[in-house]
A and B are shown apart, each in its own frame.
Chain A
Amino acid sequence: MSETDALDSVVSQPYKYGFKTEVEYDDFPRGLNEDIIRMISQRKGEPDFMLEFRLKAYRNWLTMKEPTWPNVDYPPVDYNNIIYYSAPKKKPKLDSLDEVDPAILETYEKLGIPLHEQKLLQNVAVDAVFDSVSVATTFRAKLAEAGVIFCSISEAVKDYPDLIKKYIGSVVPANDNYFAALNSAVFTDGSFCYIPKGVACPMELSTYFRINNEESGQFERTLIVAEEGASVSYLEGCTAPMFSKNQLHAAVVELVALDNAEIKYSTVQNWYSGDKNGVGGIYNFVTKRGICRGVNSKISWTQVETGSAITWKYPSVILQGDNSIGEFYSVAVTNDKMQADTGTKMIHLGKNTRSTIISKGISAGQSNNSYRGLVKIGKKADGARNYSVCDSMLIGDQCGAHTFPYIESANSTASIEHEATTSKIGEDQIFYLQQRGLDEENAVSLIINGFVKEVFKELPMEFAVEATKLLSIKLEGSVG
């Protein structure tokens, strides 16, 4: 078998999560207008302030234009041909899994996320979001003992309106960008985490997103607030069935860290990426941003992006508090016709703020993988420091890797360091390892695992295992 064949099969494993679950849906009519938004808000029993927030966002959105600057290419999305609310008919009772449609429970089980009480993941609380609604949140009672709130955002809007009112849109304003405005208007579900003062969250929190309905978009909203001295590690996972149509996923995630608080947010994104010819797959247009509002606070994003037809996301940190720390660790894998334009923004406002960016892009097939990052140092950010490394690895010669680093500094005491490398997974590297006795498949997998190691070591244990597995799923059975 030739080198290129092996490399191709190494990164072209079939998508394992592509099955569809048969459930009955309560769908809204297609299209977007104020009536639809009122219906969503009403269906969720939201207080007035939430409806107003949505309507204002919608009106803003109408005046905005879809961004064209990302290095991605796709036919225009018909926003009036999407179903904006789609919920499985059988609704769960709060705190009980008994009434969740067994087909859905089975779905999560197949995905490796058991929601049954007996089989719960060790020390990980899970919020499971199925299309537009959260179907279950585990370990709530145990978390409540510690004072931690972990529930769906829909419940939070009703049960903790003051917290929501205070924080929603405070990091990503409703008019921030086209997709954030759209999300603010129509968001359906997502997770809310609140860690009170001085509490170290006793377990990992995680949300598992699943798009099942072919015609619906998913617009989830996540809000995490860590009060003074609080800390939490949060994990996000996503998959979708294989459909020949493209589906839109436009999420907003907001993180708020107060004095001495720490939030670690990890994502393993494995949405369906379309077939070999680029038919189908998820458009993943996501706005993720955190603010280190307090002194000595820290926000760390780790992402492993292996799916989606198109990825457009820049998990960012606003470093407002003095001595605060922002981190971004990313592995983005593209293959076939996938396109990714991803990176981060580190906005240094406070004194002695520090940020680290480690980005690893792997492109194969005819895919396109771009890193886009902004490091901005404000006038008052004396002693701010940034360190960025962007490495790209190319597999084959039909793919592209690009880096777009932007630096804006208004403070001469700041130090900014940027390194970038592009390498081809070398015939010579593979030959070297094969010469030592490793077969080609092992050689390639060793090289790729070595390449991403710096990022994978940032993942929490539970996720590191999953991410490594995901990578090796993509690698398995390549020689034959």
Chain B
Amino acid sequence: MLQIKNLHASVDGIEILKGINLEIKAGEVHAIMGPNGSGKSTLSKVVAGHPAYEVTQGEILFEGTDIAELDADERARMGIFLAFQYPVEIPGVSNSMLMRQAYNAIRREHGEEELDPLEFDDYVHKKLDLVEMDPKFLDRSVNDGFSGGEKKRNEILQMAVLNPKLALLDETDSGLDIDALRIVSNGINQIKSSDKGVMLVTHYQRILNYITPDYVHVLKAGRIVKSGGKELALELESQGYEEVEEIR
């Protein structure tokens, strides 16, 4: 589903990603861990097509197509979703309006009929249940004044609505309380399926207790320095990242 080959990317002339190789197949969950500033968010944003980042070398293939030159919205409509580490506030734009426009844009892309506001309302309410969110969040401006945890949950609501093929979850667990972590994780597990891929960026083992990763990768200074199974996360939790380079 996603193949990243020797990916180098820079921002403002500074190279952040220095040769990443990663393949995520349908049905797989890949956890990405690594110290602050190692390039985890950069990797997610580059895959999603943030215009500030320049791909200087390598390839990003999504379902066999090189997407490195495509605009972010084209990639989104192909089925790539990024749950932001820092969700952006958009004052005056209601959450439901954004989700309806986004959902319809994706449906249009696939030649499907758009949902009118009433139909969409039915649809979105089912998704609200999935993440146990109060309907009042539909009418509020996107992330505007949301608490940190509410923003994260809202990202997962949007993911549930848009139903992507590849989900890039950037520290979705950070800032969630214990109940919220369980609810959000359950939500993710319900959306996850054999035809979807998940890249899950996290600092903590605890979310991996709910969402079992098939692979764990350690990113350090723009490179994947170690990969392993789910036990690697536990190892890291006890040893920290200092040791990782030596293991390599």
Contacts and interface: CB of A to CB of B under 8 A. Distances in A.
Contacts of B115: none
Contacts of B72: 431, 434-435
B60 to A, nearest CB: 15
A432 B87 contact: yes
B141 A450 contact: yes
A438 B51 CA distance: 15
A438 B93 contact: no
A76 interface: no
Nearest to A2: B51
Residue of A3, A435, A447, A454 ringed by the most chain B CB atoms within 10 A:
A435
Contact of B76 (A3, A434, A446, A451): A434
Contact of A439 (B48, B99, B103, B105): B105
Interface string A448-464: 01111110000000000
B98 interface: yes
A435 B91 contact: no
Given A434-B76, A436-B162, A447 B93 contact: yes
Nearest to A432: B88
A432 B90 CA distance: 9
A442 interface: yes
Contacts of B97: 446
Contact of B158 (A2, A428, A436, A449): A436
A446 B101 CA distance: 10
Contacts, number: 81
B106 A437 contact: yes
Given A426-B88, A428-B88, A439 B73 contact: yes
A436 B97 CA distance: 12
Nearest to A447: B90
Given A435-B76, A437-B162, A453 B102 contact: no
B125 interface: no
B92 A438 contact: no
A437 B99 CA distance: 10
A439 B70 CA distance: 12
B76 A436 contact: yes
Given A434-B71, A435-B82, A449 B51 contact: no
Interface in B145-159: 158
Interface string A1-31: 0110000000000000000000000000000
B87 A446 contact: no
B25 interface: no
A427 B49 CA distance: 12
Q: How big is the B interface, by class?
A: 20 to 34
A437 B75 CA distance: 8
Question: For A431, A437, A440, which residue has the most chain B Cβ atoms within 10 angstroms?
Answer: A437
Interface string A415-435: 000000000001111011111
A315 B50 CA distance: 43
Given A427-B51, A432-B84, A437 B77 contact: yes
Contacts of A429: 88, 90
B141 to A, nearest CB: 7
Interface in B50-107: 50-52, 71-73, 76-77, 81-82, 84, 87-88, 90-93, 97-99, 101-103, 105-106
A479 B72 CA distance: 14
Nearest to A428: B88
Nearest to B97: A446
Tell me if A's interface is mostly helix, strand, loop or mixed.
Answer: helix
Contacts of A426: 88
Given A433-B98, A446-B101, A440 B92 contact: no
Contacts of B48: 435
A450 B73 contact: no
B93 A449 contact: yes
Nearest to B75: A435
A3 B71 CA distance: 11
A314 to B, nearest CB: 25
A452 B93 CA distance: 10
Contacts of A427: 51-52
B105 A438 contact: yes
A420 to B, nearest CB: 14
B90 A433 contact: yes
A451 B92 contact: yes
B90 A438 contact: no
Given A3-B51, A428-B88, A437 B141 contact: no
Interface string A365-403: 000000000000000000000000000000000000000
A98 to B, nearest CB: 46
Interface string B150-183: 0000000010001000000000000000000000
A404 B55 CA distance: 44
A433 B92 CA distance: 14
A195 to B, nearest CB: 34
A136 B142 CA distance: 46
Contacts of B51: 2-3, 427, 431
B98 A436 contact: yes
Contacts of A431: 45, 50-51, 72, 88
B102 A450 contact: no
A436 to B, nearest CB: 4
A450 B142 CA distance: 10
Interface in A283-337: none
B93 A436 contact: no
Contacts of A453: 92
A435 B50 CA distance: 8
A437 B92 contact: no
B25 to A, nearest CB: 23
Nearest to B52: A427
Nearest to B103: A437
Contact of A437 (B45, B52, B84, B105): B105
Closest 5 CB pairs of A and B: A450-B92, A450-B93, A436-B102, A453-B92, A432-B88
26 contacts: A3-B51, A426-B88, A427-B52, A429-B88, A433-B90, A434-B72, A435-B48, A435-B82, A435-B84, A436-B98, A436-B105, A437-B103, A438-B73, A438-B98, A438-B101, A438-B102, A440-B71, A440-B73, A442-B101, A442-B105, A446-B101, A447-B93, A450-B92, A450-B93, A451-B92, A453-B92
Interface of A: 2-3, 426-429, 431-440, 442-443, 446-447, 449-454
Given A434-B49, A434-B76, A437-B109, 6 more contacts: A3-B51, A437-B106, A438-B98, A439-B73, A449-B92, A450-B141
